[in-house]
Amino acid sequence: MTHLTMTDIARAAGVSLTTVGRVVRKSGYVSEEKRVAVERVIRETGYVPNRIARGLKSNRMNLIGHITVLNPNMLYEQISKSLNDAASREGFQTLTYTVDWERVSLEIVLDELIGHRVDGIVITSHPRLDEELLHKVITRAIPLVMIERTLALEGTDRIVVADYEGAFQAVDHLISRGHDNIAYAGKIPDHEVEKRRLEGYRQALNNAGISSGESLVYLTDNYGVEEGRQAAEVLLELNPRPTAVFMTSDLFICGFLQVCYERKLRIPEDISLVGYDNTLSMMLSPPITSIRLELSTLGGRAMDLLKTRKDNPGLPSREVQSGTALVERESVKRINYEGRG
Amino acid sequence: MTHLTMTDIARAAGVSLTTVGRVVRKSGYVSEEKRVAVERVIRETGYVPNRIARGLKSNRMNLIGHITVLNPNMLYEQISKSLNDAASREGFQTLTYTVDWERVSLEIVLDELIGHRVDGIVITSHPRLDEELLHKVITRAIPLVMIERTLALEGTDRIVVADYEGAFQAVDHLISRGHDNIAYAGKIPDHEVEKRRLEGYRQALNNAGISSGESLVYLTDNYGVEEGRQAAEVLLELNPRPTAVFMTSDLFICGFLQVCYERKLRIPEDISLVGYDNTLSMMLSPPITSIRLELSTLGGRAMDLLKTRKDNPGLPSREVQSGTALVERESVKRINYEGRG
DNA sequence: CTGAAAGCGCTAACAC
DNA sequence: GTGTTAGCGCTTTCAG
């Protein structure tokens, strides 16, 4: 049994194609009588309008393309979900592609998205964007929003996470609890995101008049549990041992915690920890204080940017900040004037 | 600048619409000369074929619909990813919808999917499926695969996780390490999935000639960290205290571990733990032995089922099992003839 | 080898 | 209020 068409419904209900159309999309005048008749036929046959045909007329399928990078982190899946929800609230569907870092794969995916005549494109945290790659999108005036790892580009919009503020908050919190020997474990600052985080750490220390020795900064080239372990191996050997560590990913926290567990170091008695991204921290033992990213509102904000730009393609490039907030849990010790972990 | 059409390309290249079509989809004979000319114009203009129009002719957009339930667990996102990958490998895109448990929301989403004329539908773990709901899908002969929480239904296929085997493996592992006082923390068995897990636990115990007192079974009505804490509060008070606990979700493990941490109970010295689903367990302290679900192959198997049914709609209903495997880590103590945690 | 022509199922003028 | 008609951009016969 194949799909019925509006013509089939029209025939069955004894009305014209147009009338069926009017009933289906609830527009225009239809007499009560015919409307009821058509609705009955639709209900009985289970007719569902063909969106492809509809899309061909209007050249719009009400689709938003979302491109995400392959990542073990739950972060990006949360962003996906937030975008899906926001989109569907406005009658859009999301076409999600997960790509690796290769230039070609992004290129292919963009072509597919354009082929689908999406009404907007969201690219989350792709680290290797360049203008040429996005040229096709721009010239077609397809609204484009980049999230987290972005590229400043005319005619496009960006949502960047307040990483500087987030890192600052984390370290400032530690300082306010009496810590002054605070280590940093993060990714090598080869991208704006990582630079901002490291800068937030340094500035918080500076503001408090605390000098940060370079040995306190442990840099790795990947976000992962194993890297967190390595950070612990190094940082815990420091003499004097830092009383606190700020790590720029909850994934690092997991690894760090494993080493502490092996060495029977207690959190926060022996060392205080603050994480970042707030994805895993609430599930760990003990629950870890972490920096929450405002992910749930991200989708809505992306949709807003997309819509306003569609209505007004000439808008200058906009950048909006996504906030961060410290979520206090049980991993930070309060140190007195005397005390030292 | 709006989208170009094949006609534009034809005009620019001085050939007919048909010839452009042949070049675009690389089918049929085109002289080298004209092909080169057309390709040049396509490259220079950045023309991208309109998939909507293409879809209207063939009534296929090469789209697979995926319906997932709202869930904090990483499990379903892994399944999504696996399906996305498998689909795109075969030239399909996935339209993913996340729904709650309401009957209507599923109904609406199914209609949207049918409207998009998807080539197949995958429903992952929806707990309230019924035949009437799926009627529209079945009568249209749209291939349908249900994953994990499924409904046996003619003309549809299912992938079920070997939960019985998984639970059995977990408990059997504990027994092989000398445990005989093994508790169970899981969700109330109001669904096949939970029944199979509990049954696996019971059977493993039975086979080993170990009696399982009902007090050893802690049942909760949700998968979550908090529920894991509650399980710990109850199970750790038992006298004698179980030497091991099998939990049917890594989420439970997280909560349980938090209580152990507070009480300064060491894993596995004081109590042994085995988790389920292998999502969080490798990140915890210590890394927890858990039952891995073969999620990465799920997408490919779903696509296979979809394809074979599309080619042969008359096929009887099929059920394939998705395997489980024990991943040994550091949360199980070996107990000697004498020993008792 | 190439092109003209007829739709796919729906929408939107435009008449009646 | 209702119906007729002309496409949307592509694919696909079918002639040349």
**Element housing A38 (H / E):** helix A32-45
Q: How confident is the model at residue A1 (pLDDT cuts 50, 70, 90)?
A: low
Per-residue pLDDT reduced to its tens digit, B73-93: 778 888 998 999 999 999 999
**Confidence at B337, pLDDT banded by 50, 70, 90:** low
- Nearest partner of B332 among B268, B283, B287, judged by Cα: B268
Mean pLDDT confidence for B8-18: 94
Tell me, in Å, how far CA of A100 is from C1' of D8? 35
d(CA B76, CA B82) in angstroms, rounded, equals: 10
Q: Which residue has the tokens 């890594």?
A: B250
For residue range B31-64, list pLDDT tens digits in order.
Answer: 999 999 999 999 999 999 999 999 998 888 999 9
Contacts of A262 in chain B (CB under 8 A): 286
In the CATH scheme, what architecture does the domain B58-161+294-323 have?
Answer: 3-Layer(aba) Sandwich (3.40)
- The answer to whether some atom of strand D lies closer than 7 Å to the beta carbon of A57 is yes
How many Å from the CA of A15 to C1' of D5? Answer: 16
pLDDT in tens, A38-63: 999 999 999 999 999 999 988 889 99
Asked whether residue B6, judged by its CB, lies under 7 Å from any atom of the DNA or RNA strand D, the reply is yes
Homologous superfamily (CATH) for A163-293:
Response regulator (3.40.50.2300)
Q: How far does the CA of B13 sit from the C1' of C7, in Å?
A: 25
Nearest to A77 by CA among A271, A280, A213: A280
Banded pLDDT at B233 (limits 50, 70, 90): very high
Q: What are phi and psi of B67, to 5 degrees?
A: -110, 125
Closest chain B C-alpha to A63 CA, distance in angstroms: 10
End-to-end CA distance of chain B: 73
- B122-139: pLDDT as tens digits: 999 999 999 999 999 999
Q: For D13, which residue's CA is nearest its C1'? A: B18
Give the CA dihedral A49, B59, A89, B149, nearest 10 degrees.
Answer: 100
Chains A and B: how many Cβ contacts under 8 Å?
129
Give the pLDDT band of residue A340 (cuts 50, 70, 90).
very low
The pLDDT value given to residue A2: 78
Radius of gyration of chain B (CA): 26
State the average pLDDT over residues A72-92: 88
B26 touches strand C (CB under 7 A): no
Instruction: Nearest chain A residue to B5 by CA: give it.
Output: A115
Closest CA to the C1' of D9: that residue is: B53
Poorest-pLDDT segment among A68-72, B114-118, B265-269, B291-295: A68-72
Q: What is the four-CA torsion angle of A273, A276, A277, A281, rounded to 10 degrees?
A: -10
Residues of B in contact with A6 (CB under 8 A): none
pLDDT at A76: 86
Partner-chain residue, chosen from A74, A117, A140, that has the shortest CB–CB distance to B52: A117
Strand C contacted by B285 CB (< 7 A) = no
CB contacts of B136 in chain A (<8 Å) are: 46, 48
A71-80, A191-200, A217-226, B276-285: segment of lowest average pLDDT: A71-80
Mean pLDDT over residues B162-187, rounded? 98
CB-CB contact of B232 with B198 (8 Å): no
* Widest Cα–Cα separation across chain A: 90
Strand order in the sheet with A217-220: A217-220, A182-187, A244-247, A272-277, A289-293, A324-327
pLDDT of residue B341: 36
Burial (Cβ within 10 Å: 0-12, 13-18, ≥19) of residue A190: exposed
Read off the amino acid at residue A41. Answer: V
Instruction: Check whether A281 has a pLDDT greater than 70.
Output: yes
- Tell which residue, B320, B294, B307, has the closest CA to residue B144: B307
Of A306, A315, A308, which Cα lies nearest the Cα of A118?
A306
The pLDDT, as a whole number, for residue A159 is: 97
- What pLDDT score does A249 carry? 97
Chain A residues with CB inside 8 Å of B77's CB?
A: 74, 77
| pTM (2 d.p.) | 0.92
pLDDT tens for each residue of A83-112 = 999 999 999 999 999 888 888 889 999 999
Contact A98 B85 (CB under 8 A): yes
**CB of A12 within 7 Å of some strand C atom:** no
Rounded CA–C1' distance between B55 and C16, in angstroms: 35
Q: Which residue has the higher pLDDT, B213 or B112?
A: B112
Task: For B129-229, list the strands marked E by DSSP.
Answer: 144-147, 157-161, 182-187, 217-220
Mean pLDDT of chain A: 93
Q: Look at strands A289-293 and A324-327 and give their pairing.
A: antiparallel
- Percent of chain B at pLDDT > 90 equals 86
Cα–Cα distances (Å) from A36 to A30, A32, A211, B329, in that order, read: 10, 6, 78, 65
Tell me if A58-161+294-323 shares its fold with A163-293: yes
Break chain B into its structural domains and give their ranges.
6-49, 58-161+294-323, 163-293
